[in-house]
Amino acid sequence: MTSASTFTCIREAARSKVWDTPLVRYRLQPLPSSQATHWDDLIADYESAELFHRKAWLDYLAASRGVEIRRWTIQADGDAVGYICGGFLRIGPFRILGSPLRGWGTNFMGPVVNRGIDQRALVNALDDLACEGNLAMIELEHSWLSAPVLEAARFIAAPDWTYLVDLIPRDVGAMWRTLDPTCRNRIRKAEAAGLTVEDTDDTSIADEYYDQYRVMLRAKGLTPSFPREHPALLVSHLKKADRLFALRVKDRAGSVIATALFPHDERTMYFWSGASWAHTHQVCPNDYVHWRAMQLAADRGLTVYNMCGYGRFKRKFGGRLTVTTRWHKCYQPTARVARQLYEHSSRVRTSLIGHWQRFVYPRLNLSSTASVDSGRSRTTATRKSTKYQSFRLGDIWDSPLHDFPIRDELLHQYFVFPPETKMLEIGPGAGFTSFWMARNIRHLSVIDVAPANVRKLKAALSGVPNVSLICADVCEPGLERRIGCGFDAAYAVEVLEFLSDPAECMRNLATVLRPGASLLVQFPNYPPPHNQGITYFRTREQLDALMRSAGFASWDVYALHLRPVAATLYRTLHERPAKLYRRLRPGRGLVRPLNYDDVWAFQHGHRLEPYKYMIHGAWALLSAAMHLGGPCFARESLEGAILNRNLLLLARR
């Protein structure tokens, strides 16, 4: 359902305005030491204040990571509108500000402000601070940070995921009903086995946890990325401030079989890390300690449990999967390269040390090793990159013929999901996107209305086991009967404009997606003759009404365009040659394909098969060149006119 020529509307790239002048100008004024002693009182009334802004946590970071904690007042015309804190450190010749940095075991930090803050002015103030302080890089994370604003300011996103579980004070029964039945059975099994959980002030729990954690990693050929002192300092600083549940799980004999650390503030509990001995797994201590932690937090009046990560284990506790994003901006070209080299060398070093320990301890009794479930707080020794693998060298010869490379760049930049995702793709085109998407997720279901293309895709994707191909019309009622329900995410790129009934399509998608699932739709919203499709929306109100009636809980609409470097390269190396070829091709004329079978790429793709290696190599080089200017795409939030714009719709069921 996709034709490469339909993406030419992106050529508004360099002409679009993404960065408007802020309404006010902010300045970051260093906080005097006399006021820093009252830091918790200063930030107490601000809505975005988290546990990780508090003095106890900042003191822990200073002691464990050896960073210099700095604090600033965000001033507008001399008045304080908020605060920001972070840690300064020097790595080689580079001065870095982390608020926070990856690896600090800190989920959030960033600005301490109220809603309504001008984030464009705040980012400008951070740029001024970087210039004045000769900073090589700034890294930020907070759920309030605006993605379009940071993208426009050239910050780079590193997405991740976590489960947020609703805690219900004074109603344990309601919390119990949200758990997965398997989880409830395992908790009952732990109770029947006589397990008990205690919240202890004994600082020796840090050593108990670290011993379990280290043995577990040794069995896997890994080593901890932090020393024994870090959990000890965490317990010391946070227990003193009453900001930590330090839980021990004991069996009937009173032996400690599991440990877990849960920092918290007045609203949210976080999972820092936990470990248990493998020989005790049959009595389910891991499930039990999380459930008891949820009960303790609810008794304190906390309302959210941030499980600090994703996975099948954490999915059982009834949380909603939520995207979290860490942002960084390198102000020196060499800093960007150094950052990538540092991350790579850290992974290699950890792996080498772990393999050496495995060689040194070949007779390790694996039956007594620990099982650890570390949170997103980065306490794990190593973890897979959150960026999925959009291209491998082997794709040049293994994948289906790629006829539309820019769609993958769009998904790579704006569509994030964990590996356990059950995904739905509408309009697969030649199948290259399906090919690389499938290797990053649990299962991919692909829908195409054209029988001939489905047959071709079955042959092209026969070697991909976790892909299901379905010939169906997304505009016909009752789609759930054909493909089932419970999808975690869905996407449709360059499809909506060809649909005769987009309202029924959205209703179908809302039906097959589970609550909380995400949807990405991209389409050129241009009327004929500027677009080959038949569907477009004259006003934002029309699109909002369609999404509302379909049953989506929330959605955002953006104007999408390529950044200047990417736009120039794509226009020069792809669009102009393609336009020249179409002009010289016999039988040209206005074509309005309603499915992929009608487009030239399908009808004549067999002619290009002998040149697939050359074509895929060219796509790879073009993609690499387009990234020289940073991320390929930029987006701008739209509240009013949407006609004659290339639209990106991000929705949540």
Q: Which residue has the tokens 């491998």?
A: 392
Say if residue 386's pLDDT is above 50: no
For helices 612-626 and 406-414, the axis angle rounded to 10 degrees is 40
Of 285-294, 390-399, 470-479, 525-534, give the range with the top mean pLDDT.
285-294
What confidence category does residue 532 fall into, taking pLDDT thresholds of 50, 70 and 90? confident
Over residues 624-642, mean pLDDT:
82
Q: Residues 463-485: pLDDT tens digits? A: 888 999 999 989 988 888 888 88
What confidence category does residue 124 fall into, taking pLDDT thresholds of 50, 70 and 90? very high
What confidence category does residue 356 fall into, taking pLDDT thresholds of 50, 70 and 90? low
Dihedral sign for Cα 23, 29, 34, 36, please: positive
Class of residue 36 by CB neighbours under 10 A (exposed 0-12, middle 13-18, buried 19+) = middle
Residue 100, preceding peptide bond in cis (omega within 30° of 0)? yes
Q: Which of 50-59, 214-223, 302-311, 467-476 has the lowest mean pLDDT?
A: 214-223
Percentage of the chain with pLDDT > 90? 46
Could you give phi then psi for residue 79, rounded to 5 degrees? -100, 145
pLDDT at 457: 86
pLDDT at 200: 95
Closest by CA to 447, choosing from 463, 459, 431, is 431
Q: How many CB atoms lie within 10 A of CB 5?
A: 16
Q: What homologous superfamily does CATH list for 163-325?
A: Gcn5-related N-acetyltransferase (GNAT) (3.40.630.30)
Q: Which of 81-85, 382-386, 399-403, 581-585 has the lowest mean pLDDT?
A: 382-386
Q: Which CATH class is domain 388-652?
A: alpha beta
Q: Using CA atoms, how far apart are residues 231 and 151, in angstroms rounded to an integer?
A: 35
Residue 30, preceding peptide bond in cis (omega within 30° of 0)? no
Say if residue 87's pLDDT is above 80: yes
Question: Which one-letter amino acid corresponds to residue 498?
Answer: F
3-state secondary structure of 301: coil
Say if residue 629's pLDDT is above 80: no
The count of residues in the chain is: 653
Q: Give this prediction's pTM.
A: 0.77
Q: Which residue has the tokens 């109220």?
A: 114
DSSP 72-110: EEEEETTEEEEEEEEEEEEETTEEEEEES-TTSS----S
The DSSP bridge partners found for residue 83 are 73, 112
pLDDT at 410: 86
- 219's tokens: 């069995």
**The two domains 26-154 and 388-652 share their CATH topology (first three levels equal):** no
pLDDT at 619: 77
Dihedral sign for Cα 260, 366, 211, 356, please: negative
Say if residue 184's pLDDT is above 80: yes
Apex 105 CA angle, 99 and 106, nearest 5: 35
pLDDT at 462: 83
The DSSP bridge partners found for residue 645 are 525
pLDDT at 131: 92
Q: Residues 239-256: pLDDT tens digits? A: 999 999 999 999 999 999
Q: Using CA atoms, how far apart are residues 138 and 193, in angstroms rounded to an integer?
A: 50
Say if residue 11's pLDDT is above 50: no
Say if residue 380's pLDDT is above 50: no
653, 516 contact by CB (below 8 A)? yes
Q: Domain locations in the chain?
A: 26-154, 163-325, 388-652
DSSP 252-281: TT--EEEEEEEEB-SSEEE--EEEEEGGGG
pLDDT at 641: 85
Q: Which CATH class is domain 26-154?
A: alpha beta
Tell me what the pLDDT averaged over the chain comes to: 83
Q: Using CA atoms, how far apart are residues 60 and 52, in angstroms rounded to an integer?
A: 10
Q: Using CA atoms, how far apart are residues 130 and 210, in angstroms rounded to an integer?
A: 37
